Structure 1
Amino acid sequence: MEKLFTTRKIRLLIDADDIDQKNKILDTLYQWRYICFKAANQIYTHHYVQQQLREMLYLTEGVRVKLSDIKKDEHGILSTSRMNTSYQVLAQNYKGSIPMHIMSALNANLVASFNKISKPLAAGESALPNFRREIPVPFKGTDVKKLTSSRDGKVFRFTLFDIPFRTYLGKTGHDKREMLESLISGQVKLCASSLVLDKGKIFMLAVFQTEFDFQELDQDIIAEASLSLDYPVMVSVGNKRYTIGSKDEYLYKRLAIQAAIRRKRKAMTFMNQNSRKQLRKSTIENLMQSEKRYVSHKQHVYSKRLIDICLKNKAATLLLVDQAQKEQQAKEDAFLFRNWGYYGLKQKIERKAEKAGIAVLIE
C-alpha cells in the first residue's frame, strides 16, 4: 500500500439564508486571513532570528548558543521546542481572535517549509520570503464536522469552526463529488487543507489521502495512445478502441472565453487611459486566467481517463505514438496549435502513469 495525496479545489457557499449573517461570516473569514498573513511573517521572522544566532560570531566567547530545549540539553537557550516557540508567540498575540487550530496548522506548515530553505538562507543563496495578504487559511482535516450529502448527491454540507458551508460542484465536478462521497464512507482521509478567499468567493483546497494499491499489470499488454486532432486522445489496447473527449466538447468553452477577450479589447478603443488600464487588469486578465484553468482542468480529466483505461485493461506499458507527426500537423494549422495544448497533456499523462506504475514510452 502506498499513500497518495490528491488536491481538489471546491467552491463553498455559506449555508445560511440571512444575508446579514452571511456578510458577518465572510467578514470573519477575511479577518482570519489577515491574521494568518501577519502570523506567517512573524513565524518566519522568529525562526530566521533563531537561526542567525548561530552565525553571530562577534558575540563574546562565553556565549554558547544552541537552539534546543534547555530541559533536554544543558546548553540549550530555548524554554521549549523550536516549533513551539513560534506557536507561543501566535497564542500570545492572537488567542481569542482566531481558532488556534488554524494557528497550529499554519505554524506546522511554515516551520516545515522554513526548515527546507534554512540552508540556502544561512549560506546567503536566497532571501527570506514574505507572505501576501491573499494567503490561504489553513485548517486540519479533523476540523471538518458533520459532513453529509443531499439525496441526489449533488450538494454536500459540513461545518468548519461552527460555520455552516455547502458545496457548489457545478457540471464538471464529478471527480470532486466522488472524493467527497469516499470521504463520507471512510475510504479516503481529509488531511490538512486550506480556505482561499477570492473576491468574495470561498474555495476549499481539500487534500485527500488515499491508500493506493498497485494493480497487477500484464507486461505483455501495451496501450497505444495518440494525441489526435479530432479527439484529444485516441487509445488502442489490443482489438479495443477508445476515444477520450472530442474537438467540439473541448473547444466550445475555450473559444467562448477567447471571444469575450476580443470583445473587451475592442471596447478599449473607446475608453480613456485609466479605464483601459482598469479593464485590462480586472476583466481581461481574469478571463485569461480562466482560460488557463479550463485547459488545465480538461487535461487532468483526459489524462485520468487514459490511465483508467490502461488499468482496466491491465496494460503495463503506455505508448504515445505519432507525436512528432501530430505536433507538426498542429503547428501547420494555426487554429489547432493555438487551442490544443499538447505539451501540458503529455506532462499530466506521464505524471499520472508514474503514480499508477505504468511505463510511458514516447515514439
Structure 2
Amino acid sequence: MEKIFFTRKIQLKIDSDDSEYKSQVFKTLYDWRYICFRASNLIFTHHYLQQQVKEMIYLTDEVKVKLADIKIDEEGILTTSRMNTSYQILAKNFKGKVPMHIMSSLNSTLVSTFNTNLVSYLTGEKTLPNFKKDIPIPFKASDLKALSTDNNGHVFYFKLFDIAFKTYLGKDFSDKASLLHRLVKEEIKLCTSSLIIEKGKIFMRAVFQSENQPQTLKQDIIAEASLSLDYPIMLSIGKTRYAIGNKDEFLYKRLAIQAAIQRKQNAMAFMNNQTKKKFKENTIENLRNAEKRYVNQKQHVYSKRLIDLCIKNQAATLLLVDQQQKEVNASEDPFLLRNWGYGGLKQKIQNKAAGAGITVIVE
C-alpha cells in the first residue's frame, strides 16, 4: 500500500501560566534556532569540502581521496561514515547546548538534501544554500511525548524536549483537529517535523504519514473541472454539475483586504520617508500576509471538495481546463484571474488528486 505524506502548520502555546517560565522557554527556543542556523551551514560546508578534496590539485599525489570509512574500505580517508562526519562536528561544537536529537534530525535531513542535489552543486547549476537565522528547529517523532486531548477534543497537549505545549486551533475549519485525533489513536504516524518561531508565535510544521487507501475508481468516468465567473470551480461528471464555492463567498473578504491595502497606500502620501517605511513593513505587509493566508486556506478547501466529489462519483480521470484558454471570457471580469488564484488552486488539485490515485489531465 502506497505511503503518502502531508504537512500541516499548527500553532502552539506554552502550557503554563508562569510568565517567567514562558520567557525562559522562548529564550531557549531562540538559542536552539540560532544553533540550527550555524549547524546547517557547517553541515553543507563540510560535505561540499569532502567532495572537492580530489579537485585540490595542489595536494600531493599520496593524498587519498576516496570518501569512505577506512574500517570498511582500506582506501577510504574517513574514520567514520559520511553521514556521521558532520554529526561529529555538530557534537563537538554544540553538545550540551542543544538536544542532540535536534542535531541528528538536522544532519540527516540536510545530508539527504545535499546528496539529492550533489550533481547540480558540482556542475554549478545550483549554489549551496545560505541558511538564515529563522531556520526551523527539527525534531523526531519520538521526541513528541504524551499526546492527549481535552474533553472537547479541540485542544491537544504534549511534551517536546520536556517543554509542555498545547495546540491553538482557533476557528480553524481545516482537517488539523481530525489529523491530531487520528494521531492520538495511532491511525497515522508523525514523521520528522519542526518548530517555527514567527513574530513571537510558535508553530509546529507537522509532517504526517498515512497509507493511501485504494479507491474504487472507474476508468471510464471522467470529471471535468473549470474556472467560472461565478464560482471558483465548476465540476461536471456525466450529466451532473457541481458548483464549488461562489463569488460572494470567496471574493468578498479578499476584495475587502485589497481595499484596505489601497486605503493604507493612499494614506502614505502624507507621511515622511521613515514613517512610510515602518508603515509599509508592518501594517501593509500584515494585510498582504492575511490575504495570502486566506486565499491559501480557501484553495485547500475547494480542492479537497473537488477531489472528494471525484472519489464519490468514482471518477478515475480529472480533466482540468487550462485557464489560459479562458482569458477571453475573463475579460468580462478583469479581476477574475488575479482574484481566483488559479495557479495555486490548480497545484493543490493536482497534489490531492495524486494522493487519491486520480489522473489529472490539463487541457
Structure 1 residues 28, 154: closer, same or farther in 2, change over 3 A?
A: same
Structure 1 residues 173, 156: closer, same or farther in 2, change over 3 A?
A: farther
In the TM superposition, 1:1-363 aligns within 5 A as: 1-238=1-238, 240-320=240-320, 326-362=326-362
Give the C-alpha shift of residue 287 in structure 1: 2.1
Q: Distance in 1 between matches of 2:19 and 2:85?
A: 41
For 1:170-205, what per-residue CA distance to the aligned partner results, in whole angstroms no more than 9, with x for missing partners? 323431111111111111100001111111011111
For 1:314-358, what per-residue CA distance to the aligned partner results, in whole angstroms no more than 9, with x for missing partners? 111223459567543323312334322223222322332233222
For 1:293-315, what per-residue CA distance to the aligned partner results, in whole angstroms no more than 9, with x for missing partners? 32122112211111111111211
Alpha carbons 2:174, 2:301 under 8 Å: kept: no
Gaps of 5+ in 2: none
Q: Distance in 1 between matches of 2:144 and 2:241?
A: 43
Give the secondary-structure state (helix, strand or coil) at the position aligned to 1:281: helix
Alpha carbons 1:327, 1:342 under 8 Å: kept: no
Give the C-alpha shift of residue 362 in structure 1: 4.5
Q: TM-score, normalised by structure 2?
A: 0.93
Larger mean Cα displacement after TM superposition, 335-344 or 34-43: 335-344
Give the C-alpha shift of residue 240 in structure 1: 4.2
* Percent identity for Structure 1 against Structure 2: 63
Gaps of 5+ in 1: none
For 1:19-66, what per-residue CA distance to the aligned partner results, in whole angstroms no more than 9, with x for missing partners? 111111111111110010011111111112211112112222222222
- AA aligned to 1:202 is I
Q: Distance in 2 between matches of 1:201 and 1:171?
A: 17
Runs (4+) off by over 6 Å: none
- Aligned pairs, number: 363
Give the secondary-structure state (helix, strand or coil) at the position aligned to 1:334: coil
Give the secondary-structure state (helix, strand or coil) at the position aligned to 1:67: strand
Alpha carbons 1:9, 1:205 under 8 Å: kept: yes
Give the C-alpha shift of residue 157 in structure 1: 1.2
Q: Distance in 2 between matches of 1:345 and 1:229?
A: 15
Q: Distance in 1 between matches of 2:322 and 2:136?
A: 43
Give the secondary-structure state (helix, strand or coil) at the position aligned to 1:301: helix
Structure 1 residues 144, 335: closer, same or farther in 2, change over 3 A?
A: same
Q: Distance in 2 between matches of 1:113 and 1:322?
A: 33
